[in-house]
Amino acid sequence: MSGPETDGRGKHHDMTETTQKICAGDVRSASRLIRDLEDKRPEARRRLRQLFFHTGRSFIIGITGSPGAGKSTLTDALISELRKQQKTVGVLAVDPSSPFSGGALLGDRVRMLRHAEDTGVFIRSLATRGALGGLARAAGDAIHVMEAMGKDVILVETVGIGQQELDIIHHAHSIIVVLVPGMGDEIQTMKAGVMEIADVFVINKADRPGAKQLRTELASLLNASPHGPQDWIPPIVSIGNLYEPENFAKKTAELMDAVAKHHAHLITSGQLGERTERKAVMEITDALRACILEPVLERLIADGELTKIAKRIQRRETDPFTEAETIARRFLKTGETP
């Protein structure tokens, strides 16, 4: 588990040294580990295991909304606010991979340029690589790496709406949903899941026509949903023109304040514990999937057995349920490690 390891370069590499570097905040090692996790390098998971004990101490904020809602610009403003409060910040900017080529154009950094040289800010772009929930598969891992680096706050900016943004709920403590008037994302057209996960709503570009109506609709929808006395009612922050600097700064401070209040609420109401427990359940589920299901599948594919089974199902010589039970018995009962 510990001790010298060799990586692809043939260099000997003390794993503890890498994890130490990451805990000390070394950007390159952290970014490289995120990459290794994205590329599913075997040694990466071992390193993450070592880092896990240093995670769980950051405040994680998710930012989601349709494309063109101005999420990156808001993220940029939030970074400034947090730096004013002397907090260190990690940012994960997620963009979709092309389903055709597998490549991705990651352009969110462009809107956060002014923080490029601030050593208190670490911005990392991630591609979804086919994951459907709007978040990269490796996002959870990447968040852990940033936590281990000691970042006070981690901002996770996800791909736009249209899909259900439910992935983010498993990773973030507070979730900001960004809406823009007149872009066709009126509340009725949005998937129910998105409305329910929001802890704070932002109406961005609120100087545009339709902003008032959007706010009214949103407010009435929130009032109509049932909630108890302990419950948090998501506030709505309207943010106007980016280029009216004083007003914009005031509004982003208001947003930061709303988020901070939500965080405080989570703690006092005990919900923070619920959320982190839910996250832990998700993590163990994912880990089990990676540990049990994926190796089994890989084995079946490598042996050609999966294709054989599929053909028999096609010809209705067997059914998937019987096959699954057989396979499960084979791998679990005999104690054969997949």
Partner 1 sequence: MYFSDETCQASRKLTEQWQANVRQTPATKPDWKNRFSTVSDLDIKRLYTPEDLQSMDFARDIGAPGEFPYLRGNQVTGYRGQPWTFRMFSGMGSAEDTNARWHLLLRAGQTGLSTAFDFPTLMGYDSDSPKALGEVGKCGVAIDSLEDFLALIDGIPLDRVTTSMTINPPATALWAMYCAAADIKGVPLNQIGGTIQNDMLKEFIAQKTFMCPPEPSVKLISDTVEFGAKYVPRWNPISISGYHIREAGSTAVQELAFTLRDGIEYVEDILKRKKMNVDDFAPRLSFFFNSHIDLFEEICKLRAARRIWARVMRDRFGARNPRSLWMRFHVQTAGCSLTAQQPYNNVVRTTIEALAAVLGGTQSLHTNSLDEVLCLPSEHAVEIALRTQQILAEETGVVNTIDPLAGSYFVESLTNEMEAKAWEYIEKIDAMGGMIAAIERGYPQMEIADAAYAFQRQVEAGEKIMVGVNKYATEARHPVPLVEIDEAVGEEQVRRLKDLRRRRNGRAVSQSLADIRAACKSGENVMPHCIAAVKNLATQQEICDVYREVYGEYQDPGLF
Partner 2 sequence: MPERKIRVMVAKPGLDGHDRGARILARCFRDAGFEVIYTGCHQTPEQVAAAAIQEDVDLVGLSCLSGAHRVLFPRVVELLREKNASDIAVIGGGIIPEQDFQMLYDAGIQAIFTPGASLDSIVEWIRTHVRTGN
Q: Are 145 and 161 in contact (CB under 8 A)?
A: no
Phi-psi sector, 13: left (phi>0), alpha (psi -120 to 50), beta: beta
Q: Measured from the CB of residue 129, what is the shortest distance to partner 2 in angstroms?
A: 8
Collapsed DSSP state (helix, strand, coil) of residue 201: strand
Q: Report the distance separating Cα 253 and Cα 147, nearest Å.
A: 24
Q: Report the distance separating Cα 192 and Cα 158, nearest Å.
A: 17
Q: Measured from the CB of residue 245, what is the shortest distance to partner 1 in angstroms?
A: 5
Q: Interface residues for partner 2 in 118-177 (CB under 8 A)? A: 122-125, 127, 129
Query: Which of residues 24, 113, 267, 310 is near partner 1 by CB under 8 A?
Result: 113
**Based on CB atoms, which residue is closest to partner 2, 69 or 127?**
127
73 lies in the site for partner 1, by CB under 8 A: yes
Give the pairing of strands 153-157 and 12-14. unpaired
125 lies in the site for partner 1, by CB under 8 A: no
Q: Measured from the CB of residue 328, what is the shortest distance to partner 1 in angstroms?
A: 46
32 lies in the site for partner 2, by CB under 8 A: yes
Both tokens of 291, joined, read 């540990």
Q: Report the distance separating Cα 295 and Cα 143, nearest Å.
A: 25
Span of 92-100, 155-163, 195-203, 322-330 interacting with partner 2 by CB under 8 A: 92-100
CB neighbourhood size of 19 (10 A): 23
Chain positions contacting partner 1, by CB under 8 A: 68, 72-73, 105, 107-111, 113, 205, 242-243, 245
Chain positions contacting partner 2, by CB under 8 A: 8-9, 27-28, 31-32, 34-36, 38-42, 97-98, 100-107, 109-110, 113, 116-117, 122-125, 127, 129
